[in-house]
A and B are shown apart, each in its own frame.
Chain A
Amino acid sequence: MTDEQIVSDLAVILNEVAGVDQSKVSADKSFLDDLEVDSLSMVEVVMAAEDKFGVKIPDEEVKNLRTVGDAVAFIKKAS
């Protein structure tokens, strides 16, 4: 799976869960500061991403996932 595909799939999830405009989602964007995904929504995003990509994202990892790019890197490594 390419980085672009993962970003695109995450954009769909972020839109569904938190109403984020898909066109604003890119690797450099911060979930909290740029995309305004609060901590409860982030839990939902993680759940949906785990289902979508077939990975497990432990709570202690979630706090390291500051940007979309961080999430892409983790998903690539874990899958």
Chain B
Amino acid sequence: MSRRVVVTGLGALTPIGKNVSETWTNALAGKSGIIKISQPWAEGLAAQIAGLVTVDPFEVLDRVSARRMDRSTQLGVIAVKEAWVDAGSPDINKERLGVFFGTGIGGLTTVLEQYDILNSRGPDRVNPLTVPMIMPNSAAAMVGLEVGARAGVHSPVSACATSAEAIAGALEMIRNNRADIVVAGGTEACVNRLAIAAFASMRALSTKNNEPQIASRPYDIDRDGFVMGEGAGALILEEEEHALKRGVKIYGVVSGAGMSSDGYHIAAPEPEGAGASRAMVAALNDANAKATDVAHVNAHATSTPVGDIAEYKAMKSALGNALDNVVVTATKSMTGHLLGGAGAVESVFTIMGLKEGLIPPTLNLKNQDPEIKINVAKDEPYKLSANANFALNNSFGFGGHNVCIAFSKN
């Protein structure tokens, strides 16, 4: 009998909320977190809209700790602190405590700041903490220090699939008996001139600069790219017996994970969604579930013309006719695309959705793309039937990384 893994704590810092409670309330209300970037640095960029976190990390974190972290790590640590307290600040043997936490882009804010200092003030003014602030494992390492994890600290890097892959890794870490609790999730904070110029140069971003709140519109016929967001999500994964012994609340079960790679292109998704479909099927198999068990999918759905269609084809291929009874939502319509933070934040939405029986609506879906034949929650929260017990969360990343996490209520 394999060790079952449950979720005992949640944390989220997003463009629509400073914590899980506010993020969830605003998601159900269908609020957009996308704004026009009014600072001078955005001038001349093709895309001048983004989803920004409204919390100042220096007001929340210890000031000296904060100045030793890149912004991406700051946001990650804030989300983890919330999740850790939510899980009852577990008193655990730290050798049984692990971390799986990632970022897609990493410490780009710090790279840019220090490169400016290098050029303007010289090499001897480069901050001695630059390397620990920009290394891709920085957020995971700081989270590890925050909770004192000694079973292992891991940092998957798979672009926008990163934090879903972190949850998959955390699940395996507990199943394999390397840990009883693993802090899982991911973060991103790269709303800056270079990152926006670079994503825009790929033609990946929406350029609806004068209508920020309707720019992110997954499945809509007028979608024109994703909107960048910043933020972080964190989940406390715990072996079920361990959680029951502690007597803490249990949000739900991480019942399986599936991963695959496209082997197709460095940025474009495989157009038939074959790789994504294989990840979804693998997640179902891992969870010992059937397509007909699936009540809900929180889709990757970034609002790009090709990506949303490829994912639809993947869903159709993986679930077949059972897809007709599935309600899909695309929460990036509200948060924007949190890149390395997306999978974790959307897993928070998926778990909360199952637990409360309510699925947040997809914003801005006025004219559904006729090629995408799915039931999308829109206009208002969709009420799941009382026996709905099983949901999937898809996350895909540049490089052809596909991750699907399966959650169940019990």
User: Measuring CB to CB, which residues of chain A are less than 8 angstroms from any residue of chain B?
Assistant: 17-19, 40, 43-44, 47
Question: Does B125 contact A40, Cβ atoms closer than 8 Å?
Answer: no
A24 to B372, CA, bound (A): 66
Collect the chain B residues with CB atoms within 8 Å of residue A44's CB. 127-129
Question: Does B63 contact A19, Cβ atoms closer than 8 Å?
Answer: yes
Collect the chain B residues with CB atoms within 8 Å of residue A47's CB. 124-125
User: Measuring CB to CB, which residues of chain B are less than 8 angstroms from any residue of chain A?
Assistant: 62-64, 67, 124-125, 127-129
Collect the chain B residues with CB atoms within 8 Å of residue A18's CB. 64
Collect the chain B residues with CB atoms within 8 Å of residue A17's CB. 64, 67
Question: Does B62 contact A19, Cβ atoms closer than 8 Å?
Answer: yes
Q: In this complex, what residue of A is CB-closest to B132? A: A40
A43 to B129, CA, bound (A): 9
In the assembled complex, the CB of B20 is this many whole angstroms from the nearest CB of chain A, namely: 29
In the assembled complex, the CB of B294 is this many whole angstroms from the nearest CB of chain A, namely: 50
Can you spell out 8 A-B residue pairs with CB atoms less than 8 angstroms apart?
A17-B67, A18-B64, A19-B62, A43-B128, A44-B127, A44-B128, A44-B129, A47-B124
A40 to B64, CA, bound (A): 13
Q: In this complex, what residue of B is CB-closest to A20? A: B64
Q: In this complex, what residue of A is CB-closest to B128? A: A43
The A interface, classified by DSSP as helix, strand, loop or mixed, is: helix
Collect the chain A residues with CB atoms within 8 Å of residue B64's CB. 17-19
Question: Does A40 contact B63, Cβ atoms closer than 8 Å?
Answer: no
A47 to B63, CA, bound (A): 19
Q: In this complex, what residue of B is CB-closest to A47? A: B125
In the assembled complex, the CB of A5 is this many whole angstroms from the nearest CB of chain B, namely: 24
Question: Does B129 contact A40, Cβ atoms closer than 8 Å?
Answer: yes
Collect the chain B residues with CB atoms within 8 Å of residue A19's CB. 62-64
In the assembled complex, the CB of B193 is this many whole angstroms from the nearest CB of chain A, namely: 26
Collect the chain B residues with CB atoms within 8 Å of residue A40's CB. 128-129
In the assembled complex, the CB of A51 is this many whole angstroms from the nearest CB of chain B, namely: 8
Collect the chain A residues with CB atoms within 8 Å of residue B124's CB. 47
Collect the chain A residues with CB atoms within 8 Å of residue B125's CB. 47
Collect the chain A residues with CB atoms within 8 Å of residue B67's CB. 17
Collect the chain A residues with CB atoms within 8 Å of residue B63's CB. 19
In the assembled complex, the CB of A31 is this many whole angstroms from the nearest CB of chain B, namely: 15
In the assembled complex, the CB of B141 is this many whole angstroms from the nearest CB of chain A, namely: 14
A13 to B129, CA, bound (A): 16
Collect the chain B residues with CB atoms within 8 Å of residue A43's CB. 128
Closest 10 CB pairs of A and B: A19-B64, A43-B128, A40-B128, A40-B129, A44-B128, A47-B125, A18-B64, A44-B127, A19-B63, A19-B62
A18 to B124, CA, bound (A): 19
A40 to B67, CA, bound (A): 13
Q: In this complex, what residue of A is CB-closest to B64? A: A19
Given contacts A17-B67, A44-B127, 7 further A-B pairs with CB under 8 A are: A17-B64, A40-B128, A40-B129, A44-B128, A44-B129, A47-B124, A47-B125
Collect the chain A residues with CB atoms within 8 Å of residue B129's CB. 40, 44
Q: In this complex, what residue of B is CB-closest to A43? A: B128
In the assembled complex, the CB of B347 is this many whole angstroms from the nearest CB of chain A, namely: 34
A43 to B128, CA, bound (A): 7
A47 to B114, CA, bound (A): 14
In the assembled complex, the CB of B138 is this many whole angstroms from the nearest CB of chain A, namely: 14
In the assembled complex, the CB of A57 is this many whole angstroms from the nearest CB of chain B, namely: 10
Q: In this complex, what residue of B is CB-closest to A40? A: B128
